Amino acid sequence: MRHPGVPFPRLPLPEANRAGQGEDMEAFQHWLNEAIPLVGHLGLKRMYWQHESLIWELALGPNLNDKGTGFGGSLAAQTTLIGWCWATLWLRAHQREQDVVVAKAGQRFLAPVNGNYRLECRPRDEDGPQQLDARLKSSGKGRLALVQQLFVGDSLCLEAEGDYAVLPATSTP
């Protein structure tokens, strides 16, 4: 059981590899469900990498609104969270134990979400991860802009963007 003000223990870092490819995604998802209790209620069925995109497959049922479509607040939380996961997994793949926080996020709802759906998250700029890596090496902190898109089948229903800050590493006594 989680308690306010008490950080959840980190997962051991995976072996060094490219953008999350060495991560056991099932273990990460299990850890995520415990570390952030809300995750267990969002209908997240599966997460995986496809090239530079993190993909989530989600069930609509836990995210319904009063109209029988996707609840905007739930969908907004999911877009923010998948971005946090992208940045966290990228750091882990680069053997960095640093905290990620969302600095800014926004969404644009394009169509009702009326079935199970998938969220895709990727860097806004192709060289964003390389720029982040350079900033982390020079100052120990940095920012990364990520975009998220929600699809029901082939229909784009939501576009979002988030700016994620990587905080300086804390020293351990």
Q: How many domains does the chain have?
A: 1
Question: 60 in a domain, yes or no?
Answer: yes
Examine residue 19 and state whether it is found in any structural domain, yes or no.
no
Q: Which residues pair with 122 in a beta bridge?
A: 147
The runs of H, that is alpha helices, within 39-124 are 72-93
Reduced to 3 states (helix: H, G, I; strand: E, B; else coil), residue 149 is strand
Tens place of pLDDT per residue across the chain (173 aa) = 788 999 999 998 987 655 445 789 999 999 999 999 999 999 999 999 999 999 999 999 999 999 999 999 999 999 999 999 999 999 999 999 999 999 999 999 999 999 999 999 999 999 999 999 999 999 999 999 999 999 999 999 999 999 999 999 875 44
- The residue type at 125: D
Please report whether residue 157 resides in a domain.
Answer: yes
| 120 in a structural domain | yes
Q: Is residue 7 part of a domain?
A: no
Measure the CA–CA gap between 147 and 82, rounded to whole angstroms. 10
Look at residue 159 and tell me if it is in a domain: yes
119 close to 78: Cβ distance less than 8 angstroms = yes
Task: Kindly report the pTM of this predicted structure.
Answer: 0.93
The one-letter code for the residue type at 35 is A
Q: Which helix (H) or strand (E) holds 135?
A: helix 128-139
Angle, alpha carbons 164-90-148 (nearest 5°): 50
pLDDT tens, residue by residue, 120-151: 999 999 999 999 999 999 999 999 999 999 99
Residue 79, judged by CB atoms within 10 A of its CB (0-12, 13-18, 19+), counts as buried
What is the edge-to-edge ordering of all strands in the sheet holding 142-152?
A: 44-50, 53-58, 117-123, 142-152, 155-166, 100-109
Domain span including residue 124: 25-166
Select from 51, 94, 78 the least CA-distant residue to 151. Answer: 78
Query: How many degrees, rounded to 5, is the angle at CA 91 between CA 87 and CA 95?
Result: 170
What is the CATH classification number for the domain harbouring 127? 3.10.129.10
Let me know if residue 11 belongs to a domain.
no
